[in-house]
Amino acid sequence: MYLLEEKIYFWLLLGIPVLIVLFLGVLLWKKSTQKKFADLTLLKKLSPDQSVFKSVLKIIIISLALSCFVIALVNPKVGTKLETVKREGVDVVFAIDVSKSMLAEDIAPNRLEKSKQLVTQIINNLASDRIGIIAYAASAFPQLPITTDYASGKMFLQAMNTDMLSSQGTAIYEAIELAKTYYNDEEQTNRVLFIVSDGEDHEGNIKEIAEEASKEGIKIFTIGVGSEKGGPIPIKRNGVTQSYKKNSQGTTVITKLNPTTLQEIASEANGTYIEGRNTSKVIDEVTEILQNMDKKEFEAKQFADFKDQFQWFLAAGLLLLFLDIFLLERKTSWVKKLNLFNEQ
């Protein structure tokens, strides 16, 4: 396991291509100027020790040395020991609606992106809880099993889109059914499910499944994303809106937030409905909910004793600069004897 302490210094690597371009420019300028001064045969007689190959090798070595120094500044660290630690927290599963209605832009930038932003911010505010992610439309798909790896959670979250499930529709029933399989501890009492959706449901039976989830100790909290005024569903190509989704009569479909459905689900499963327009309010409410829940002790493996590795890259950079001293643009006598560059 490795850790990059100061990633911002990677931007310094952009100086290397600039350096190479400048070097090539100077090289072309020198050649052009020398041609004006004398022909090639005369130039070789005037400067017999001039080496083009060594000047190219010189810039390569300097670039490698700068790369090593930049990596040294980033300070990569390596975990040398895997420890099993005990943590206390809540198992939190996020079921995120990825149906086409989530493309509506009645809430900026659109409902799905807003949902991903909300869940990302919630994860950022978690301490020792475990998370799981489910994507659902007409069916539900396990995106991420229960884990303490928040970085992976946010990575999978950002990859979610409305094309990941071929069957369209909104089956909250399927999402709740799948979520029940995420909690595998029979004695666990802190089972939490957050359903992030616009509330449209095309299969029904949500009350029954919410009641079943409640009997199994799962508390369901719903987050409504969208507006009750609603908006059309854009059809885009390369990020540009081409048209809007229409029904069989040719009328533009207007999708609206349905808080009633979400409120019913939360009520049946001992949870609450949260309006998702204001991000900070959502975070505050979710944080308060999780803080007031019983914590479960569980084991988690994590790397410890991270050791700095910058010294290896610093030494490599210094060594390359030391080698650069022997790679002047002129042919040194001992290198000339070796004829490493097949020069005449």
Going from N- to C-terminal start, the domains of the chain cover 2-75+309-338, 84-300
Angle (CA) 219 221 226, round 5° = 160
Contact 97, 219 (CB under 8 A): no
Per residue in 300-321, pLDDT tens?
Answer: 555 556 678 888 999 998 998 8
Nearest alpha carbon to residue 139 among 94, 99, 110: 99
Structure tokens at 221: 């909290």
In 3D space, the residue among 10, 157, 13, 7 whose CA is nearest the CA of residue 77 turns out to be: 7
Question: Is residue 334 pLDDT above 70, yes or no?
Answer: no
Residue-by-residue DSSP string for 47-116: -TTB-HHHHHHHHHHHHHHHHHHHHHHH-EEEEEEEEEEEEEE-EEEEEEE-SGGGG--SSSS-HHHHHH
Lookup: tokens for 227: 């507006």
More confident residue, 84 or 308: 308
Task: Determine the pLDDT at residue 307.
Answer: 77
Residue 1: predicted pLDDT: 63
For the segment 219-278, what is each residue's pLDDT rounded down to a tens digit? 999 999 999 899 998 988 877 878 888 888 888 989 999 898 899 889 888 899 999 999
Please tell me the predicted confidence (pLDDT) of residue 305. Answer: 63
Instruction: Using pLDDT thresholds of 50, 70 and 90, give the confidence band for residue 341.
Output: very low
| pLDDT exceeds 80 at position 214 | yes
In the chain, which residue ranges form alpha helices assigned H by DSSP? 15-37, 40-46, 52-74, 111-124, 150-158, 172-180, 206-215, 259-268, 279-291, 310-325, 333-338
Q: Residues 150-207: pLDDT tens digits?
A: 888 999 998 899 888 766 666 788 888 888 888 876 656 578 999 999 987 666 667 7
The angle, 0 to 180 degrees and rounded to 10, between the axes of the packed helices 206-215 and 172-180 is 20
β-bridge mates for residue 197, sequence order: 224
Tell me the one-letter amino acid at 179. Answer: A
Going by pLDDT thresholds of 50, 70 and 90, the confidence category of residue 120 is very high
| Average pLDDT rounded to a whole number, residues 274-284 | 92
For residue 142, count other CB atoms closer than 10 A to its CB.
14
Question: For position 207, what pLDDT does the model report?
Answer: 76
pLDDT category at 218 given cuts 50, 70, 90 is confident
Residue 116, pLDDT score: 94
State which of 28-37, 127-136, 301-310 shows the largest mean pLDDT.
127-136
Exposure on the CB side of residue 116, measured as CA atoms within 13 A: 19
- Please give the CATH number for the structural domain made up of 84-300: 3.40.50.410
**Concatenated DSSP letters of 248-268:** TTSPBPEE---HHHHHHHHHH
Average of pLDDT values for 11-22? 89
Question: What average pLDDT does the structure give for the chain?
Answer: 81
